[in-house]
Structure 1
Amino acid sequence: MLTVYLFFIGLALGSFYNVVGLRVPKGESVIKGRSHCTTCNRTLKASELVPVVSYLLQRGACKGCGSRIRPLYPVTELSTGLLFAVSYLSFGLSGEFFVAVIFISLFAIIFVSDMAYMIIPDKVLLFFLPLLLAARVYTPLTPWYDSLIGAVVGFLLLFVIIMASRGGMGAGDMKLFGVIGLVLGWKLTLLAFFLSTLYGTIGSISLLAFRIIDRKNPIPFGPYIILGSLTSYFIGDELLGWYLDWFL
């Protein structure tokens, strides 16, 4: 029952994270202002704000003007709910569970903002940085300074790539990896980067192959960073153990 409860909490928070991810990059308040259709500006009713369910019942379209609703909304809501449930099943009600919830919340907002605007807002990173730092102090890695090394490795790794590629990646990705390193430690941060580039390569080739985009279209890297980092966070130790057993 607690797993189900946390799933629904995640759904509700995922709906709020949609608002944060869409408004913060535009400098809008996340507290003031009713939710509205971005096409016709009609204020949404309570029945239109039920996470995932409203999207399905409305068949992905605004009741007022019939304009298409971004699938981004239900994807964020459902993913947040599922990840909250997985976090509880993985860690129970422990300190690490709260690290996971904060980590997932950061990623949900970043996912929305990067998909919508290709921006990873500094305000979001600065808000979550002290929360994750406090959570890691309460539930430290072993050894505890692995978080500090991870933050430095994550930041510098992307910094070097940006310098070498002359802007091939964004500064937002670099700052995000610094925060990721704080949570994962240096080994899992390196794994997260490898998985992110792997997912990014597969995703880009697939989008090009199915002609969803062409070579001139920029692709946000944030979602791949999120996917790679979550993979590393939840099963990274197992992946590293498998790799060492298989190849060494």
Structure 2
Amino acid sequence: MEVLVAIFFFIFGLVFGSFFNVVGLRLPVNKNFSTDFSICPNCKHRLSWIDLIPVLSFIIQRSKCRYCKSKVSYIYPMGETVTGILFTVSYLKFGFTLELITALLIVSMLMIILISDLTFMVIPNKVLLFFLPLFTIAHILQPLHSWWASIVGALIPFGMIAIIIIVSRGGMGAGDMKLFGVLGFILGLEKTLLTFFLSCLIGAIVSTLLLFLNILKRKQPFPFGPYIIIGTLISYFYGNEIITWYVNLLFPIDTQASLTA
């Protein structure tokens, strides 16, 4: 039974991932995503339902437009597949609990931001403002920590990024700062600081690799949002385990026992 439910959540995620692609690609350019029909960006032909089946249409049409044969961006199946996987992970991690709502909201917000930041290097304010009240309601229904922890978790990371922006003269964007503010409210201070550390570490490793492969040039702008998203997902799903491991590494169990003896 659980396997069938997991499959349902994966398909559910594929469908929502397709919608998140539309929102992430249209919102930054102020294009209506609720009424406008989907079209090929190259030939402007209106797409039919057979062109819009998540992942399958991309595979069947061999990543090409059915009408003009132009290449279809891999961002579409990537967004759909990752959303499907993360919806499934959310269910397997939390089951049918109230925290599942929070998990699905986090994944949804992050996937829209991922598409938008990869394409336009923009984290839309409208996305953050839309999800923040939903996170507030979810926090009321299933508090992950105290309201004080949420406020401190939002203000301190927000202030840290603001200082980095001022000192580096734009080394990070205001969108990253606002995103960390929202994440701090959801995750609390400890997990948000872990997110910041992980995103910087992952960003440094990936950017160094891209520079080595000559894919990225020195001083070439690149979106930091994807690294924040990866760090957030790791912190949210496995942050407690990582923090416990780190504390035990600094203060081994034998040492803790002797201190309390």
Query: Structure 2-normalised TM-score?
Result: 0.92
| Structure 2 unaligned regions, length at least 5 | 252-261
Deviation at 1:45, TM superposition (A): 1.7
The structural deviation recorded for 1:247 is: 2.4
User: What is the percentage of aligned positions where both structures have the same residue?
Assistant: 48
Distance across 2 between alignment mates of 1:84 and 1:111: 15
Say what the alpha-carbon RMSD is for the aligned residues.
1.0
Q: How does 1:177-192 map to 2 (within 5 A)?
A: 177-192=180-195
Q: 1:222 aligns with which of 222, 225, 234?
A: 225
Work out the CA distance in 2 between the residues paired with 1:33 and 1:166: 39
Q: 1:30 aligns with which of 33, 41, 52?
A: 33
- Aligned match of 1:21: 24
2: CA distance, partners of 1:164 / 1:211: 28
Structure with higher Rg: it is: 2
SS for the counterpart of 1:245 is helix
Q: Deviations over 1:7-44 (max 9, x none)?
A: 11110000000000011111111111111111111111
Amino acid paired to 1:139: Q
The CA deviation string for residues 179-198 of structure 1, in whole angstroms up to 9 with x for no partner, is 10111100000000000001
Q: Which letter does structure 2 place at the counterpart of 1:53?
A: L
Q: Which residue of structure 1 lines up, in the alignment, with residue 107 of structure 2?
A: 104
Q: Distance in 2 between matches of 1:206 and 1:234?
A: 26
Contact 2:145-2:188 within 8 A present in 1 as well:
no
Please report how far the alpha carbon of residue 58 of structure 1 lies from its aligned counterpart in structure 2 after TM superposition. Answer: 1.5
Structure 1, residues 145-164: CA drift from partner, whole Å, max 9, x if none?
Answer: 21121111221121111111
Residues 141 and 147 of structure 1 are in contact (CA less than 8 Å); yes or no, is this contact kept in structure 2? no
Stretches of 4+ aligned residues off by more than 6 angstroms: none
Rounded to whole Å, the distance in 2 between the matches of 1:131 and 1:92 is 20
Task: Tell me the TM-score normalized by structure 1.
Answer: 0.97
Aligned to 2:199, which of 192, 196, 220?
196
Distance in 2, matches of 1:136 and 1:196, equals 24
Write the distance in 1 (CA, Å) between the matches of 2:41 and 2:191: 39
What code does the residue aligned with 2:134 have? L
Matched residue, 1:78: 81
Structure 2: distance between partners of 1:14 and 1:141:
26
Residue in 2 that maps onto 1:68? 71
Q: Structure 1 stretches of 5 or more lacking a match?
A: none
Name the counterpart of 1:119. Answer: 122
The residue identity in structure 2 corresponding to 1:32 is: T
Q: Report the 3-state secondary structure (helix = DSSP H, G, I; strand = E; otherwise coil) of the residue aligned with 2:165.
A: helix
Q: Verify the 8 A CA contact 2:158 2:180 in the aligned structure 1.
A: yes
Amino acid at match of 1:125: L
Tell me the SS of whatever aligns to 2:53.
coil
Q: How many residues align?
A: 248
